[in-house]
Amino acid sequence: MAVYERNYGRYQGELTPSWSRFMILPRYAFKDVFDSKGFLIFLVLSCVLPFAGLILIYLHHNLAALKFMNLPLEQLQQALPINATFFRRGLDIQSWLCFLLALSVGPSLVAPDLRNNGLPLYLSRPFSRTEYVLGKMMVLIALMSFLTWIPGLLLFFFQAYLEGAGWLAANLRIGVALFVASWTWILVVSLVALAISAWVKWKPVARVSLLIVFFVLTGFARALNEALDTWWGYLFSLSTAMDNVRAFLFGTALDDSHMAQPVWSAWLTLAVGCALSLWLLSRRIRAYEVVR
């Protein structure tokens, strides 16, 4: 019988709070993303629209500049009014940039860990599957926030600052809509992108799958609606559902009235899309794999 001397001491110090640990995961993912020149160019280009919006809002409140450009204020207010539609359309465009971002970054988030059996590395620590998914999602959430609600709210508050407190009170709904619509889209796109990344190992196939979910299903929904003269085909289209929810939140009409569906059904589609993605993630994000 061996005689064991206790000379091996364990660490007894303080630990960081468990809720904050998921934020360790995106550290190197961000580094990889920002190492790519193509991605940096994309990020700069995605700031063009918010910057244009900033100039437009400024021009609405600077008669001297308008005079210098020989542009009457009434004409500008008529052509490009700063209202709910202005903010909604801006968010529409930025939301599609988010989709492109998910298309670029999403497929490489979970698939490499699964391909290399890397999950035990995370899950043999005080770190849950939920925290793992949250950590991976943080990459998309942070980048998409930079494209959507952060510039949106900056423009909103800039407009409120120039117009005065009365405008802010009268248009509070726009601010809320910017925030809620952005987060809803971020959650939907991130969860679907992660679920696809968890199930499809090849990046090109994952990207095609993402395009199928957001575009081909919309085409299918439209064909179904045309053939059966109904609206419920849109229950299969996440992008149409988001357009409807966005229009509802901003209190504006849809640009294409043929795409209208009851708001409850749009929320239902988004909720089911998220729930299905979470289910797919929970089926796949496990510390072990059984080969039958």
Partner 1 sequence: MNAEKLSTADRQVTFENVSKFYGDVLGVNRVNLSIPPGITGLVGPNGSGKTTLMNLMVGLIRPSRGRVSVFGLGPDDPEGLFRLVGYAAQYDSFPPGLTGYQFVESYLRVHGFSARESEALAWKAIERVNLVEAAGRKVAGYSKGMRQRIRLAQALSHEPSVLVLDEPLNGLDPMARAEAIALFRELADGGLHVIVSSHILHEVDLISDQVVLIHGGYIVAEGDIGDVRDEMEEDHPVQVLVRCDRPSLLASRVFEADHVVEARILEDGQGLLVRTRDADSFHLALNRIVLENGLAVDAVAPADSDVNAVYQYLIGSNGEKQ
CA distance 172 to 168: 6
Q: Which of 47, 59, 123, 168 binds partner 1 (CB under 8 A)?
A: 123
- Where b means 16+ CB within 10 Å and e means fewer, 118-145 reads ebeebbeeebebebbbbbbbbbbbbbbb
Closest CA to 50 of 146, 135, 124: 146
**Residue closer to partner 1 (CB basis): 11 or 68:** 11
Stretch that binds partner 1, among 144-152, 174-182, 251-259, 284-292 (CB under 8 A): 284-292
Instruction: Find the part of the chain contacting partner 1 (CB under 8 A) among 88-96, 125-133, 254-262, 264-272.
Output: 125-133
| Beta strand extents in 67-154 (DSSP E only) | none
117: contact with partner 1 by CB under 8 A: yes
Contact 167, 160 (CB under 8 A): yes
> Is the Cβ–Cβ distance between 225 and 240 less than 8 Å?
no
121 binds partner 1 (CB under 8 A): yes
Pattern of binders to partner 1 over 28-67, x per CB under 8 A? x--xx-----------------------------------
Backbone angles phi, psi at 288, to 5 degrees: -140, 165
**134 lines the binding site for partner 1 (CB under 8 A):** no
C-beta of 2 vs 79, nearer to partner 1? 2
Nearest to 188 by CA among 283, 286, 266: 266
Binding partner 1 (rule: CB under 8 A), the pick from 7, 70, 78, 257 is 7
Binding site for partner 1 (CB under 8 A): 2, 4-18, 21, 24-25, 27-28, 31-32, 112-113, 116-118, 120-128, 287-288, 290, 292
